[in-house]
Amino acid sequence: MASSKPPFSLQTTHVAKFVLPFPTSRFHYPFTTGSRDYRGFTLQSLALVDPCLLSYRGSRAKGSRLFIASASAQPLTEELVEDKPLNLSTSGDSIRRKFLEFYASRGHKVLPSASLVPEDPTVLLTIAGMLQFKPIFLGKVPREVPSAATSQRCIRTNDIENVGRTSRHQTFFEMLGNFSFGDYFKQEAIKWAWELSTVEFGLPADRLWISVYEDDDETFAIWHDEIGVPANRIKKLGEEDNFWTSGVTGPCGPCSEIYYDFHPERGHSDVDLGDDSRFIEFYNLVFMQYNRKEDGSLEPLKQKNIDTGLGLERMARILQQVPNNYETDLIFPIIKKASDLANVSYTLADESKKINLKIIGDHMRAIVYLISDGVFPSNIGRGYVVRRLIRRAVRMGRLLGIKGDGVGNLEGAFLPTLAEEVIKLSANIDPDVKTRTPRILEELTREELRFVSTLERGERLLEEILTDALSVGQRNGTLPCISGKDAFLLYDTYGFPVEITKEVADERGVGIDMDGFDVEMENQRRQSQAAHNTVKLSVEDGAELTENIPDTEFLGYDTLFTKASVEGLLVNGKPVGQVSEGNEVEVLLDRTPFYAESGGQIGDHGLLYVTDSQENKEAVVEIQDVQKSLGNIFVHKGTVTKGVINIGGEVEAEVDANLRQRAKVHHTATHLLQSALKKVVGQETSQAGSLVAFDRLRFDFNFNRPLRENELVEIESLINQWIGEATLLETKVMALTDAKKAGAIAMFGEKYGEQVRVVEVPGVSLELCGGTHVANTSEIRGFKIISEQGIASGIRRIEAVAGDAFIEYVISRDNYLKQLCSTLKVNAEDVTTRVNNLLKDLREARNEVSAARAKAAIYKASSIISNAFTVGSSSKITVLVESMEDMDGDALKSAAEFLVSNLEDPAAVVLGSCPDEKRVSLVAAFSPGVVKLGIQAGKFVGSIAEFCGGRGGGRPNFAQAGGSEPEKLPVALQKARDELVSALSETRA
């Protein structure tokens, strides 16, 4: 540590051409350079960016020392920094360092990157460098510093399909930014951006092009008159390209961008700055100078701000002279490691393999930094983003031929090896990543292995689905399409994000019914929500009640009957003294045999009653539910069906023995079911929810595919075997630590104290459980699974019956079968054959009807072909727009195909019908000549369907649509006729 005495008085240290003042105490010293007054600054957290950040070249007095001001509110300390030569390489780290030190020397406070998980609730992930400053720009919080500079980690997935295919698209990137909060404006921002680009980074001035907003003459003048950029290298662009807005109203302003020209030999005429093969935009300057009012008008802001972004990877590509962002030192080491694992030479690889390697290189950076910032794989929100990226990377690795971990362990994961490479590169980006290495690698291993376990089966199924879709499309002459149900099956059962399914389908020319997929997703969400719903009762004035009412003593493990004192009565949640016949009531007792809902088991039903001396029931309360509230107070919910019940009185509490037995049977069967699942499908399965009711049991568990029929049979057989073994259950209370050591399984959603109740079926099951159970497995009598389904991604549900409910189920199914046998006039063993034959006959009959309708449609179409008219004078186009009354959709399609094939090309046919009083069908069929004119059937018929309250689409030459407002069909057809005439006339003008 240096002494508190300044080693020099306002000593300066030269950095290239720039002079930096370094304060010798916690106070900032103002200084002046040229005509600009700088108010002093601190170089905050520069060591986090790069340990060598504050090492400079140039003329320095021997022994000069550099002092870094602390970011805290404590007095600043002075640290000696060794005199090291500036790294002149073009590495990504060097570019980042040069940018930050350049703006630090101009009064900017260097701030660390914000997390990828933003505080801003309007965005999912940090997508821009300005995001952490958005409240300042919007005027919601005051500025803390006049200007700042950052290297911000960002994530964007909106263009994920372009990653690896273009030279510049990435999901993860670093945005270098300098920001002014009312401190400086256009002139300084432009001057420094140019100086940084041409002097610090040494870019040839004659290779830089500028874009400005078309109405921003001031910016044009600065670039041309002050910086000296020739007018023919400054392009004026419109609002879409060069005007930034924060929303419909609020701060906004023009932008100016700097482009690097890779091919200046192409000249200056007809230049398109959007040409990726020639240009790359690497620096964007936003001049926030207006406020857009509600009427759309612009008024000048009192405080004008600067928001810039320089893409680190883009600048690295330029300086390192590589053909794309992926081959810079920021990403290529990851690609190299992936190519080693795949035993592929990147240099010699074909374009497809290179794309796969680039995707892996890009995605691994995003994955590692997301997990480091606390985003873990899931099926919602940010978690879905990282899961999608992981699964995409795994799929690319498999396409490259990476087996297992890539180094011999076929059961291992390869992503952790790539992640280690990312972590090596993270030191100067985010030093926290290295400290989180174990968590990152563990999460990646688990997620990859989870996905790989079902990937091969999913890939085979996807191939089958694609083949079927292509076959159907070819047979019907329609656009091949994967149904929403099949896309959801791949997502829900095999873990394929729908975006991956779409990506693979696109490669094969197959579409996806996304509307159908959305319907399946919504159904899943509803089921998932239902699975996690729990009843939560609360009692008003609860604080007052808890002072006077002790916890309820539960006697229900040993008895179904007891006498108890009424400690409290509530009607509509409010305490009362008595409740009379006909009213609903909540009764609080000092002791009870009633089981209160918990651990998935519903509350007991039964009676509370008051008797006279002759044992006659003077008052009766029918209990339909029991819940725990206010800690361990049992709330008995019921209805007074006779007499009056009073607070302080004594009642006899009696549980319905039959319903309790049903609950006990189902609860013990649930324990057997969990054990059977672990034996049949694997120990990794675990409970995710349960319901133990009187009529059935429901068990939710973590698993990534539907159970096969043979697995369900094996599970049932195991459970019924254990039932038949007539095993006595053992129940004991022990310390929680001892129970865990013994291997007891905790029930989902339960909270446990230091002492726990352990229920054991010796040799079969050992679980922590406070529920009620049979004494012997033989009491269960029988077990039958009635359904197995997915309710959320990775969550399956089994519903089953046992005991009396099992007997009732078997009897009811037997009765159904007898009725079916009687109807079909066959024996039970012949039902399947008979039904299959009936279905075959039905399909044949439907095909015959369909063929007959098609013939009728063609006949009717031939009668209206004379209604066609022509458009144009020299080259005529035939148009036919007609109503086909009540013709169904398939027949309408046949009619349109007949007409367009029998009319001379070019021809356009649009037909409409009302198959019933609530539906509209529309078909558009365009010949090749019409399609060549740029008019597509899919887009055309979709817009027409909107007039009938519908929508639709299809291929350019043929499309179908539907609607729900038949009365508007004439209007829609007239609109179709008018638009066709107009569009075709224009093309022939």
Q: Which amino acid, 550?
A: P
Q: Which amino acid, 700?
A: D
Give 617-664 as a 3 state SS string: EEEEEEEEEEEEECCCEEEEEEEEEECEEECCCEEEEEECHHHHHHHH
Residues 6+ apart with CB under 8 A from 347: none
Pairing status of strand 745-746 against strand 765-768: parallel
Q: Which two tokens stand for residue 870?
A: 């022509």
Residue 922: which of 968, 876, 873 has the closest Cα? 968
* Angle (CA) 523 456 349, round 5°: 120
Residue 652: which of 591, 597, 604 has the closest Cα? 591
| Residue 363 assigned as binding residue | no
Q: Which two tokens stand for residue 189?
A: 């921002």
509 SS3 class: coil
| Residue 667 assigned as binding residue | yes
24 SS3 class: coil
Q: Rounded to an integer, what is the distance from CA 300 to the centroid of its chain?
A: 39
Give 747-804 as a 3 state SS string: CCCCCCCCEEEEEEECCCEEEECCCCCCCEHHHHCCEEEEEEEEEECCEEEEEEEECH
Residues 6+ apart with CB under 8 A from 874: 988
Q: Which two tokens stand for residue 532?
A: 């996690």
Residue written as token pair 């144009």: 872
Q: Element (H or E) spanning 363, and its range?
A: helix 351-372
Give 166-204 as a 3 state SS string: CCCCCCEEEEEEEEEECCCCHHHHHHHHHHHHHHHCCCC
| Residue 671 assigned as binding residue | yes
Q: Rounded to an integer, what is the distance from CA 914 to the centroid of its chain?
A: 40
The dihedrals phi and psi of 228, each to the nearest 5 degrees, come to: 95, 20
The dihedrals phi and psi of 488, each to the nearest 5 degrees, come to: -70, -35
Q: Which two tokens stand for residue 868?
A: 């066609």
How far apart (Å, rounded) are the C-alpha atoms in residues 285 and 191? 11
Q: With beta carbons less than 8 A apart as the criterion, state whether 332 and 361 touch.
A: yes
Beta strands in 80-171 (DSSP E): 109-111, 147-155
How far apart (Å, rounded) are the C-alpha atoms in residues 417 and 241? 41
Alpha carbon separation from 824 to 676, 810, 827, 830, 898 (Å, rounded): 38, 21, 9, 10, 42
CA dihedral 715, 719, 721, 722 (to 10 degrees): 140
* Angle (CA) 89 94 100, round 5°: 145
Residue written as token pair 């009192």: 302
Q: Which amino acid, 634?
A: F
Pairing status of strand 697-702 against strand 687-692: antiparallel
Q: With beta carbons less than 8 A apart as the criterion, state whether 151 and 176 touch.
A: yes
Q: With beta carbons less than 8 A apart as the criterion, state whether 748 and 720 touch.
A: no
How far apart (Å, rounded) are the C-alpha atoms in residues 923 and 932? 19
Residues annotated within the binding site are 667, 671, 769, 773
Residues annotated within the binding site for Zn(2+) are 667, 671, 769, 773
